[in-house]
Structure 1
């Protein structure tokens, strides 16, 4: 497996391809993303272990969206069965994906635990436990410090797991090695990922401005707030689906394609982007 170093402008291309491929199968990709989020929400409802289980499902959900994007890139319809793609590729990779999920959950909960040392767990309760966020809490110095600490610590955690699901699934890399290769690839291509992040920030801000304008126009016409709320939720869901669709292109361009063709969708050379 060989790492590719890409120019910074690749970040714009990843964003463009994510949007373009999403619109090839918008309903299927949005529906799959919704199912992933619904599965994690249902897991959260379980007593005691719910939040940790939901966190452990995130690498598998990311992989499902990557494989779905590869399917859509070949003009094939992604189906709901891709929700379980991480658990249907053999016992060895199943164990690897479960290990990856456990490591992610452990890392995230460790970050929440460190933030609790600052504000007594208020931020963790709001983020994980659904505790109400009042103005008094939001303006608390300890709460804000815990929030920023969590954000800063989450960045390296995110880089560790960015490519890891794809490396486990398509290259058969063991979980710990996948984490190492993932963060190395992200750091070596930091310019491209910076442009990628800025590009998606621009897309989200632009979409938010457009939705706000549409909501204002609807309000001026005397239409109900329900329509505006539905529009905002639908737009957020669509944008999140686009973003997760684009992840596979960051993976495709960062690594050599796997030598084995056992996997159905090794992404480095099968995604048609012409």
Structure 2
């Protein structure tokens, strides 16, 4: 496995590829994204361990969407079974993916524990367990500090796990090493990753402005609230589609890499 250093403008290319690939297979990729969301939602319903279980499944589920994107980029129609590619690649890789998921859940719960030091756990409980969001709660200084602390800590966590599922699945890298390689890839391609993030932020902002403008021209401001939710879901699905290309262009397979299973993208 070889790390590729790409120019900053590649970040914009990743966004374009995510959007264009999604447009090629909109029904399949949007359907798989909704299945992805449903899987995590069902996991959260498991008593006592629901939140941790959903977090542990996130790397494997994200890998499934990446495998689906790989198939769509080849011009193939990704079937629903591709979403569980991580658990069909052999016992060793399945075990490694479960370990990776456990590490992600542990890391996320630890950052929530740190945020709880600032507001007594109000933000953490709201995020992990759910509850009613009130204006009074959101305006509390301690709650806002906890929220920003959690967001700040999530950035390095996401960098560690950004490429990790794909490295475990397609390159046979061990879970701990995959975190190191993921971090190094994001660090070395900081410019491209920054452009990638800013470009997607721009897409969300432009979509919100467009929806608000259309609702205003239609003389129905409430239309913006109704329409923005499905529009946002489609954009998020496109975002997840683009993640595969950030991995594809950041790493190059070498002969000594572990061969992928025949079930990789089926």
> Would you identify which runs of 4 or more consecutive aligned residues in structure 1 move more than 6 Å?
none
Which of 240, 252, 256 is equivalent to 1:256?
252
CA contact (8 A) 1:113 1:121 kept: yes
Question: What residue is the counterpart of 1:174 in the other structure?
Answer: 174
Three-state SS of the structure 2 residue aligned to 1:76 is coil
1:99–1:175 Cα contact (<8 Å) kept:
yes
Matching residue of 2:228: 232
Deviation at 1:198, TM superposition (A): 0.5
- Gap change, CA 1:80 and 1:230, over 3 Å in 2: farther
Corresponding residue of 1:61: 61
Task: Name the counterpart of 1:194.
Answer: 194
Give 1:215 deviation, angstroms.
Answer: 3.1
Q: TM-score, normalised by structure 1?
A: 0.91
| Residue 159, structure 1, aligned to residue 149, structure 2 | no
What is the distance in 1 between the residues matched to 2:220 and 2:47?
45
The Cα of 1:213 is off from its aligned counterpart by 2.2
CA RMSD of aligned residues (A): 1.8
Given that residues 171 and 258 in structure 1 are in contact (C-alpha distance below 8 angstroms), is that contact kept between their aligned partners in structure 2?
no
CA distance in 2, matches of 1:148, 1:221: 34
Normalised to the residue count of structure 2, the TM-score between the two structures is 0.94
1:51-106 CA distance string (max 9 Å, x none): 00011111011101110000000110111111211100000000001001111011
Q: 1:214 to 1:174 in 2, by over 3 A?
A: same
CA separation in 2, counterparts of 1:112 and 1:254? 30
CA distance in 2, matches of 1:250, 1:257: 15
Asked whether the equivalents of residues 64 and 84 of structure 1 are also in contact (C-alpha less than 8 Å), the reply is yes
Q: Which runs of 5+ in 1 are unaligned?
A: 268-274
Task: For residue 216 of structure 1, report the CA deviation from its aligned partner.
Answer: 3.2
Contact 1:116 1:123 in 2 (8 A): yes
Asked if structure 1 preserves the Cα contact closer than 8 Å seen for 2:2 and 2:254, the reply is: no
Q: Deviations over 1:172-211 (max 9, x none)?
A: 0000000010001101110110000010000111111112
Q: Which residue of 1 aligns with 2:127?
A: 127
Which shows bigger deviation, 132-141 or 92-101?
Answer: 132-141
| Partner deviation per Cα, 1:118-139 (whole Å, 9 max, x = no partner) | 1000101111111211111111
